[in-house]
Structure 1
Amino acid sequence: MQCVARLLAALLALATLGAPVGATAQPRAPLPDRQETATLAIGFAGPLSGPSGGVGKSMQNGVQLALAEANRRGLRIGGKSWQLRLIAQDDRADPATAEFVARSLVQQQVIAVVGHWTSGTSLAAAPVYHRAGVIQVTPSAMSRRLTAMSYPRIFRTIPNNESLGRLAAGYAVDKLETRTIVTIDDRTPFGQGLAEQFARTASERGAQVVGRYSVSDKTSDFNAALLEARKLQPDLIFFGGLDWQAGVLAKSIRRLKLHARLMASPGTLGLPFLMRAGPDANGALVLEPGPPQDKMPGWKSFRQRYSENFDSDMDLYAVFAYEAAQAIIQGIRQAGSADPERIAEAMHRLRFEGVSGPVAFNEEGDLLQPSFTMYEVKDQRWQPVARFNGLPRQ
């Protein structure tokens, strides 16, 4: 009996070890689950410096706004709360830098990336994301080659350059009654592909493409091409390239006394072109994705939320960057998973109302029912002159 009593006393002592003197031993509270709130990294890649730095920063802000709103609303997957974290990288609108940036974002374990700004940078980065199983949603790269690669995790929230080229050419020939055309492109996948599609459609509609020229995407010297074009006396010059070059081109056209209208590429809408071209901008045209901002169903609310959060100008493409981030977030919610494969599958089934209108993707990741607006510079201000809904007929 004494042995039993000593054993019971020893067990009691072990049970109360560490309890304050005079206190009754209490069961230990479970340790907090350090993984109760987890983090998902979303990347942004675009030009945050250089001539296109303004539009890049505006797009980054659009992504940041979407993630912040999702975090405030709350995101739960598998019984855990998740926070979305943005990792932004500057690709300088340079394809070689874009590939390096893509590798960096993959190493930082992003599950998805909103980017890149140009088609050249997007095409350079796409294989890196594809091999790593990372989702890529571009809010601005229009080259048809991008989605034609048929990567299952690639999407875009704007139309491709084939549809834009066909519509722009149709407007030039049918509405403006253009008969002779010269194209100039910047040799990039975006600019060259757009100019080729424009020329092809214009020819099919009865216009004559009397000259085709290419320049470096970094040049501000259009003299050689324009001096040749002046001999041909075209009704219209179509430029496939970025906004800052389009501004220089507009001034060069007037300086060399060419009596031709300029139609520029998507991405030209905004202040940079107007500031570079000055009064020579008047009469210039550009076909841009989406309806006019004041006709976008969610524009007023988006503009207010953007201005409350960021002390910087808002470019048109901030809307499409916001929608790109929203598509990723909606995909996460519908998939109920942080696995990019399952998220991408859910994104192919998405149907939601974005700021600019309905957002849904086809099997290649292209926008299903895009809309377009033709703008013209009048009194040094961009004004909408025509709207189009749906894809043009082949």
Structure 2
Amino acid sequence: MQNRFTQITLIGAMAVAMAAGAHAEDQIVKIGQTGPLSGANAFAGKDNENGVRLALEELNAKKISIGGKTLKFELQSEDDQCDPKSGVNVAQKLVDGGVKFVMGPYCSGVAIPASRVYSEGGAMLSTVGTNPKVTQGGYKNLFRIVAGDDQIGSSMAVYATKVLKAKTAGVVDDRTAFGKGVADEFIKEAKSQGLTIVAQEFTSDKAMDFAAILTTMKAKQPDVIFFGGYAPQGGPMVRQMKQLGLTAKLLGGDTLCSPEMGKLGMDAVNDTVFCAQGGALLDATATGPAFKAKYKKRFNQDADVYAASFYDQTMFIVDAMQKANSLDPVKVGAEIYKNPYKGVAGTYAYDDKGNMKQAPVTVFTFRNALPVPLASY
């Protein structure tokens, strides 16, 4: 009986040891994510996080191996509050924690100063910060995974003149790195298109009352008003435009191409707001509809502006890890620069500064308070 008991104990110990050995073969790979998880733009930060999370869940299910070890991806998501100081602190935290691959930030004002911390810490950064300065720091392994302000702002100027047949425009920007950057690009292209800028006003990314600005705009009677800023201000702005009897169309960049605009602006957004978003029309891509469906099933909500881009770049990074047979960001980055990747929202190929070589842009309007794509360019 004692021998029998000893035998069972030995078998049990061997099983535990084998399980521990198998577990030891797993290698934890932390993927950082930084964005606004609190405050007015939290809806966007959470959407970006969900895009990364969905990719990592699928990758973990595939049991990917490198160097004989199965990779186990873990998401470390941090709230940078769309604030430069907080964003730099988050960057230092992730770097100090040994995180070598970071998705984000969402806001250009965070991406510009934080990119130096990631570069000095040897981490790869993949951001949707669209201000041109984001990729002008000379940092390797920094990728802008969508179109930049030069494409987004200029595309809305072309759309205003060619499609909306506008002759005059007013411009408002919130003085953030994103808002000012995209507004400057709109103005530059508008002038080359012969569009006359009749008024230029400024606000902040905390403002909610735009009566004074809009009263000034109404007196100038612009055909369109371009707003360089975010949905939490854009929604109330278009509602106040309607209350003041302003008939101009409200134009903006990717940050306005969000269901949040409809929630805040309600029926005032319908056929009045036009925005340009980096990325192809998902419904027209081979895998876009399937991505939208699985996102909705997993998170019980529709994907917002950049979920697909964050999902794609996460998949691209891991694909590059496999090609490089390495977790070294330098070797992984070399593969990313060398080999394009076809994702849900487009084909990702980067120049030596980390800008997408051919970044598609889709123009949206709103109907029933929801963004509706019109065309991709």
Same structural fold, with TM-score higher than 0.5 when normalized by the shorter chain: yes
Counterpart in the other structure of 2:70: 81
Structure 2 residue 366 is matched with structure 1 residue 368: no
Of residues 162, 169, 177, the one that matches 1:189 is 177
Change (3 A) 1:79 1:260: same
Answer yes or no: is 1:92 the counterpart of 2:81. Answer: yes
Identity %: 31
Q: Does 1:244 align with 2:201?
A: no
Residue 379 of structure 1 deviates from its aligned partner by 4.5
Range with greater deviation from structure 2 (168-177 or 70-79): 70-79
Distance in 2 between residues matched to 1:225 and 1:340, nearest whole Å: 47
Q: Aligned equivalents of 1:374 and 1:231: distance in 2?
A: 28
Q: CA RMSD in A?
A: 2.0
For 1:50, the aligned partner's letter is G
Provide closer, same or farther for how the CA distance between residues 382 and 307 of structure 1 changes in structure 2, counting only shifts above 3 A: closer
CA distance in 2, matches of 1:134, 1:299: 30
Aligned residues of 2:172 and 2:202 also touching (Cα < 8 A): yes
SS of alignment partner, residue 276 of structure 1: helix
Equivalent in the alignment of 1:330: 319
Q: 2:4: which partner in 1?
A: none
* Equivalent in 178, 181, 199 of residue 211 of structure 1: 199
2:104 counterpart residue number? 115
Instruction: Give the distance between the partners of 1:307 and 1:250, measured in 2 at CA.
Output: 28
Q: Are residues 309 and 258 of structure 1, via their aligned partners in 2, closer, same or farther at CA, if it must alter by over 3 Å?
A: closer
Unaligned 5+ residue runs, structure 2? 1-6, 8-16
Deviations along 1:271-300, whole A, 9 cap, x unmatched? 211121122112211111222231122122
- TM-score of the pair, normalised by structure 1: 0.87
Spell out, residue by residue over 1:245-291, the C-alpha distance to the aligned partner (whole angstroms, 9 max, x if none). 11111012122222311112212123211121122112211111222
| Cα distance in 2 for residues equivalent to 1:57 and 1:314 | 10
Aligned counterpart, 2:285:
296
1:269 aligns with 2:257: yes
Contact (CA 8 Å) 1:297, 1:356: kept in 2 or not?
no
Displacement, 1:94? 1.5
2:134 alignment partner AA: L
Alpha-carbon contact 1:45-1:114 (below 8 Å) kept: yes
Letter in 2 for 1:156: R
**Any idea what the Cα deviations from partners look like across 1:64-105, whole Å, max 9, x if unmatched?**
111122222122222222211111111122221111111111
CA distance in 1, matches of 2:302, 2:375: 25
SS at match of 2:338: coil
**2:156 alignment counterpart:** 168
Pair 1:64 & 2:61 matched: no
Superposed CA offset, 1:164-201 (max 9, x none): 11111011112222111110001011110110110111
| 1:223 corresponding residue in structure 2 | 211
Matches of 1:235 and 1:319 in 2, distance apart? 33
Distance 1:322 1:136 in 2: 14
How does 1:146-161 map onto structure 2 within 5 Å?
A: 146-161=134-149
Report deviation, 1:211.
1.5
2:239 paired with 1:260: no
300 and 175 in structure 1: CA distance in 2 versus 1, 3 angstrom threshold: closer
Alignment partner, residue 5 of structure 1:
none
Structure showing greater Rg: 1
Alpha-carbon distance between aligned partners in 2 of 1:233 and 1:381, rounded to the nearest angstrom: 27
- The answer to whether 1:124 aligns with 2:113 is yes
In the superposition, the TM-score normalised over structure 2's length comes to 0.90
Q: 1:122 to 1:224 in 2, by over 3 A?
A: same
- Corresponding residue for 2:13? none
Structure 2 CA distance, aligned partners of 1:42 and 1:378?
37
> Unaligned stretches of 5+ in structure 1?
1-19, 21-28, 389-394
> Secondary structure of 2:254's partner?
coil
Aligned residue for 1:366, secondary structure, equals: coil
SS of residue in 2 equivalent to 1:348: helix
Per-residue deviation, 1:33: 7.9
Q: Which moved more, 1:277-286 or 1:240-249?
A: 277-286
CA distance in 2, matches of 1:89, 1:35: 28
Output the amino acid matched with 2:113: A
Which whole-Å CA distance do the structure 2 matches of 1:296 and 1:244 have between them? 29
Distance 1:95 1:262 in 2: 28
Question: Could you say which structure has the higher helix fraction?
Answer: 2
Which letter does structure 2 place at the counterpart of 1:311? N
Whether contact under 8 Å (1:58, 1:312) holds in the other structure is no
1:347 aligned residue: 336
